[in-house]
Amino acid sequence: MAKKKTVAQDKMKDVLDEEKKIVQAFKDKDWNEIKSSDSWVIFKVMSEFVEGFDKLAKIGPCVTIFGSARTKANHPYYQTAQQIASGLVREGYGIITGGGPGIMEAGNKGAKLAGGKSVGLNIFLPHEQEGNIYIDTDKIINFDYFFVRKVMFVKYSQGFVVMPGGFGTLDELFEALTLIQTKKIGRFPIVLVGKSFWKGLVGWIKKILLDEEKNISAEDMFLFTIVDKPEEAVKAIDDFYSKYLLSPNF
């Protein structure tokens, strides 16, 4: 009974906090409030960029593994992510994740157990996310701002392995696809793992975005690869760099 009451209280607090944010958005601010608030944000953003660049500049070639924080350790996707991370480490890559539980933990665990570099770019959330135990102690970075964190993923990754996930995973996937499509960054491999999971989304992209609405080009469908098995994901990364005769950025 007490537990149910606590959950209800937490939900009510979330609702009140959300209402407070909405009201604040419409509140007029004087110049001093704007100047002091914005100045603080600018310096906080700068500090996150500086720490990220400082810690990651010499980290070497890495692949980022994205996926749901809600995936349990006994789930097949967790096991697959761990195996992919270990396989990539054996090919000379370090592993970067979002630093949290679920698929992120699996990626860091696979890297750690295989003796590779295990990096965690953790984000502070209202229901606080803590870095998982498999991140190298000198390679965990905590962020307040999603956009700063996403810059680090893109700047210091040689490829993305995208496991099944929710809104955050899709956001990271489409951010990378957009940057490559618009040539804001050079092309790197994007590997979607789990054909049954991605089938509906990829089918919609092809049928609606490409065929019906012409919102993307036919070549955009080749910006990513879909696989099922851990060894296929590792091979897709290796094949990409062999095909394009590219080497990591470091």
Q: Give the CATH number of the domain where residue 167 resides.
A: 3.40.50.450
The verdict on residue 82 lying in a domain is: yes
Q: Are 240 and 159 in contact (CB under 8 A)?
A: yes
The verdict on residue 53 lying in a domain is: no
Residues 170 and 204 in one domain: yes
Residues 39 and 127 in one domain: no
The verdict on residue 177 lying in a domain is: yes
- pTM here? 0.83
Q: Are 130 and 124 in contact (CB under 8 A)?
A: no
**pLDDT tens, N- to C-terminus, the chain (250 residues):** 555 556 566 666 665 666 665 556 556 665 555 556 677 888 999 999 999 999 999 899 999 999 999 999 999 999 999 999 999 999 999 999 999 999 999 999 999 999 999 999 999 876 656 789 999 999 999 999 999 999 999 999 999 999 999 999 999 999 999 999 999 999 999 999 999 999 999 999 999 999 999 999 999 999 999 999 999 999 999 999 887 655 444 3
Residues 31 and 103 in one domain: no
The verdict on residue 214 lying in a domain is: yes
Residues 27 and 78 in one domain: no
Largest interatomic CA distance in the chain: 62
Predicted local confidence at residue 248, as pLDDT: 45
The range of the structural domain enclosing residue 137 comes to 60-243
